[in-house]
Chains A and B, each alone.
Chain A
Amino acid sequence: MSKTLVEKIWDAHVVKSEAGFPDILYIDTHLIHEVTSPQAFDGLRKRGLPVLRPQQTVATADHNVPTLNQLLPIKEELSRYQVDMLTKNCAEFGIELYGLGHPFQGIVHVIGPELGITLPGKTMVCGDSHTSTHGAFGAIAFGIGTSQVEQVFATQCLLQQKPKTMKIEVNGVLGQGVTAKDIILYIISKISAAGGTGYFIEYAGSAIEALSMEARMTICNMSIEMGARGGLIAPDQITFDYIKGREFAPAGEEWDKSLAYWKTLYSDADAQFDSVLTFEAEDIAPMITYGTNPGMGMGIRETIPATQSQPDKEQLSYEKALAYMGFEDETSLIGKPVDYVFIGSCTNSRIEDLREVAEFVKDKHKAENVTVWIVPGSKQVEQQAINEGLDKIFEQAGFQLREPGCSACLGMNEDKIPAGKYCVSTSNRNFEGRQGPDARTLLVSPLTAAAAAVTGKITDVRELLVKA
């Protein structure tokens, strides 16, 4: 019988399937971090249970960590306590921890792939919604709540309803200055912040196949912003080349065996999806969000849709969102001054993102009125940036290269955007207060963020690019 990629991986991991019950799904890899794990460890203690397969669990500290002076004790007491708690719990339950100071530390969704832990055909979970990132390798990867973290600790399994499947095809060639981030912001703006709910999305089509692994991760990362359980892309030569030689990637005979299996991981030609959507790469411009959910996005030269054009029941919320942002119906954002530029988060903090920004800002300088933070996704990304001399370029441009962590993506540490200020951000959520109480977030690609940094206002990056 023909199967979709999701079905192939799912079926290979079902421990038990019984009518009227969710499937018992086996989990290959469990990633954890300091914020969503302590209550799960507590739960285990109360039940008197060990972590069933500690060697299939990897921990890092990322959400709460400072991005300056990481080797000093964390100043904020509650943050320090939470990070210390993770260290204690990992020691007690025998889990490998890449904590502060470790050369592998970083945002959980950045380190999995770069260490070769994320592999095609795996099932992976983490108490974090952006676990969908790992789907870029052709894995079933999704975010879970803390009760489920405890469940995976205790049983290495999850009770899960088999998801519906959706295929999103993007065909054609992207224009200059248009990147993976623009593709995904475009799709979300078309299908809304809830348009993927209940689905696992497979991205396909020539525009997707042409993307690097980093770019594919950016796309899969934001699947959750349309409500999808996860997103994935069939592995191909680009995937295999990326994985080969990484720290924990299979090697030697294991590699050959794995590769043979990975090559079977695609949706059969006549496989049935519950829903199929198709987009054209040529239609996509550099994108920007103007509201308070990621579905409120538009091409950077467009004007904000009128409240009147929204469905009746949603006009109140829409109006409220624009008021929060300080924007008005049917206006353009081009030329609007910005206060902060944040380049980071599990969406766009990989070495490719930093390279792209560095290449653009080389011999340029940030505008007076903006503060620019570049927060690498991991220690390894940071090191690589330094090895390639990107740190010098950023320094000359007046950009601050900080230490790895989630940082201003969610403002749990000190990196908060002040109330009322505008932040052009490469992260994934523009919710009210996401980057700090009353902060205003505009989601964009790293290139568009770099353009705003240099001009101090919202800019169509294509105007600053040398014509190819």
Chain B
Amino acid sequence: MRKFEKLTSAIVPLNIENIDTDQIIPARFLKATTREGFGENLFRDWRYNGDNTPKADFVLNNPTYSGKVLVAGKNFGCGSSREHAAWAIQDAGFDVVISSFFADIFKGNALNNGLLPIQVSEDFLAAIFAAVDKSHTAQLEVDLEQQTVTIADTGEQSSFEINPYKKSCLINGYDDIDFILNQKDLIEAFEKAR
């Protein structure tokens, strides 16, 4: 897994609630057997018409928005457990997703892939949307070590929670399997004792 470092970036705003994994990556694009390439179909049905022409009014098709931070409405990533959703977001160039609420499985999947989900208050989320509304190139600073996210233009700052173990995984670029494999004796002892 890639190591996560500090990030300063413009924002791609998606002010919609309850964005489910079927919107992030529709089921018909889950047929690949590798982790790569899902970014092409990220938000497929919002991004393209039936005849594959881009929908002009969708934010990912608007060249004035760019950046590595996706900001979305409440309850982001609800629905299926497909990790392809996290892969697609990452593959499309995002390192951070911000929302005021995340669905559990999505959050876990994101963390397991080095995609940082940041949960902020409704008010702070509204402040971010307001900042991009004002300037499409508004910058956001994410500091994982300090657990803060800052709107560069206004200086508004919010801290965020992250499990300390997961934080160290992200910063050091290691994953759960490495961690558990180090305790294999315990697993065998557990099985014997049952």
A interface with B by C-beta (< 8 Å): 15-16, 20-22, 24, 26, 35-36, 38-39, 42-43, 47, 52, 63-64, 78-79, 81-82, 85, 127-129, 131, 143-148, 150-151, 154-159, 161, 193-194, 197-198, 227, 229, 293, 313-314, 316-317, 320, 410-412, 419, 429, 431-434, 437-438
The closest CB in chain B to the CB of A125 belongs to B81
- Would A419 and B50 be within 8 Å (CB), given that A15-B186, A20-B164 are in contact? yes
Contacts of A150 in B (CB 8 A): 177
Residues in B whose Cβ lies below 8 Å from that of A316 = 15-16
Given the known interface contacts A24-B180, A194-B18, A317-B73, the answer about A42 and B23 at a Cβ–Cβ threshold of 8 Å is: no
For B81-99 the 0/1 string (1 means CB < 8 A from A) is 1111010000000000000
A15 adjacent to B75 (CB under 8 Å): no
Instruction: Check B64 for interface membership: any CB of A closer than 8 A.
Output: no
Within 8 A of A (CB), among B140-174: 163-165
Check: B6 CB closer than 8 A to any chain A CB.
no
- Are B164 and A194 interface neighbours, CB within 8 A? no
Chain B nearest Cβ from A429, distance in angstroms: 6
Residues in chain A near residue B183, CB distance under 8 A: 15-16, 24
Which of B16, B81, B163, B180 interacts with A128 by CB under 8 Å? B81
**Residue contact A155 to B109, C-beta cutoff 8 Å:** no
Q: A24-B186, A150-B177 are in contact. Are A437 and B45 (CB under 8 A)?
A: yes
B78 and A194 contact, CB distance less than 8 A: yes
Assess the A129–B81 pair: CB atoms within 8 A. yes
Given contacts A15-B190, A438-B45, contact A193 B164 (CB under 8 A): no
Give the residues in chain B near A432, CB-CB below 8 Å.
22-23, 45
B54 at the interface (CB under 8 A from A): no
- Whether A433 lies near B78 (C-beta < 8 A) is no
A196 to B28, CA, bound (A): 28
Nearest-neighbour CB distance to chain B for A185, whole angstroms, equals 16
Whether the pair B104, A198 counts as a contact (CB closer than 8 A) is yes
For B78, give its contact among A20, A193, A313 (CB under 8 Å).
A193
A155 and B23 contact, CB distance less than 8 A: no
Q: Which residues of A contact B23 (CB under 8 A)?
A: 431-433
Residue from A42, A63, A128, A437 in contact with B50 in the complex, judged by beta carbons closer than 8 Å: A437
Min CB distance, B186 to chain A, in Å?
Answer: 5
Report the bound CA distance from A150 to B109 in whole Å.
Answer: 12
Shortest CB distance B59–A (Å): 14
Given contacts A144-B81, A314-B74, 18 further A-B contacts (CB under 8 A): A24-B187, A26-B187, A42-B34, A143-B80, A147-B113, A148-B176, A155-B181, A155-B187, A157-B187, A158-B176, A227-B103, A227-B104, A314-B17, A317-B17, A410-B80, A411-B28, A429-B22, A429-B80
Sorted nearest first, the 8 A-B pairs with minimum C-beta distance are A38-B33, A78-B31, A145-B83, A145-B109, A147-B112, A143-B81, A146-B83, A317-B17
Contact of A147 among B15, B80, B109, B126 (CB under 8 A): B109
Inter-subunit contact B31/A79 (CB<8 Å): yes
B-side contacts of A39, CB under 8 Å: 33-35, 83
CB <8 Å contact, B122 and A313: yes
Cα(A35)–Cα(B181), bound, Å: 25
Known A15-B187, A64-B31, A293-B78: A229·B163 in contact at CB below 8 Å: no
User: Mind listing 19 A-B residue pairs with CB under 8 Å?
Assistant: A16-B186, A20-B165, A35-B82, A36-B82, A81-B31, A131-B81, A145-B83, A145-B105, A151-B180, A154-B181, A155-B180, A194-B18, A197-B104, A227-B75, A293-B78, A411-B28, A419-B50, A429-B20, A431-B79
CB–CB A159/B31 < 8 A: no
Nearest CB in chain B to that of A196: its residue: B104
B67 sits at the interface (CB 8 A): no
**A154 touching B177, Cβ below 8 Å:** yes
A435 to chain B, nearest CB (A): 9
Q: A82-B33, A438-B50 are in contact. Are A193 and B180 (CB under 8 A)?
A: no
Residue total for B at the interface (Cβ-Cβ under 8 A): 54
- In the complex, which residues of chain A have a beta carbon less than 8 angstroms from the beta carbon of B20? 293, 429, 431
Asked if B130 is at the interface (CB within 8 A of a chain A CB), the reply is no
Question: How near does chain B come to A414, taking the closest CB pair, in angstroms?
Answer: 10
Considering the chains assembled together, what is the distance between the CA atoms of A433 and B27 in angstroms? 9
Asked if B4 is at the interface of the complex by the 8 Å CB criterion, the answer is: no
Instruction: Choose one: B16, B27, B176; the contact of A412 (CB below 8 Å).
Output: B27
CA distance A24 to B177 in the complex (A): 11
Query: Cα distance A59–B114 when bound, in Å?
Result: 28
Give the CA-CA distance A319 to B55 in the complex, in Å: 19
Check B105 against A22 for contact (C-beta < 8 Å).
no
Selected contact of A36 from candidates B18, B83, B165, B176, CB within 8 Å:
B83
Name B1-47 residues within 8 Å CB distance of A. 15-18, 20, 22-23, 26-28, 30-35, 45
Least distance between A70 CB and chain B CB atoms (Å): 18
Complex Cα distance A219/B126, Å? Answer: 36
| Nearest chain B residue, comparing its CB with the CB of A156 | B187
Complex CA distance for A162 and B186, rounded to whole angstroms: 19
Whether B134 is near chain A, meaning CB under 8 Å from some CB there, is: no
Cα separation A246 to B92 with both chains bound (whole Å): 47
Q: Say whether A147 contacts B83, CB under 8 Å.
A: yes
**In the complex, chain A residues whose CB is within 8 Å of the CB of B113:** 147
A419 proximity list for chain B (CB < 8 A): 50
Complex Cα gap A82–B79 (Å): 22
* Closest Cβ neighbor of A228 among chain B residues: B104
Residues of B within 8 A of A42 (CB): 33-35
Chain A residues within 8 Å of B164, by CB: 20
Determine the distance from Cα of A326 to Cα of B185 in the docked complex, in whole angstroms: 58
Beta-carbon nearest neighbor of A154 in chain B: B177
Closest B residue, CB atoms, query A89: B33
B81 and A293: CB pair below 8 A?
no
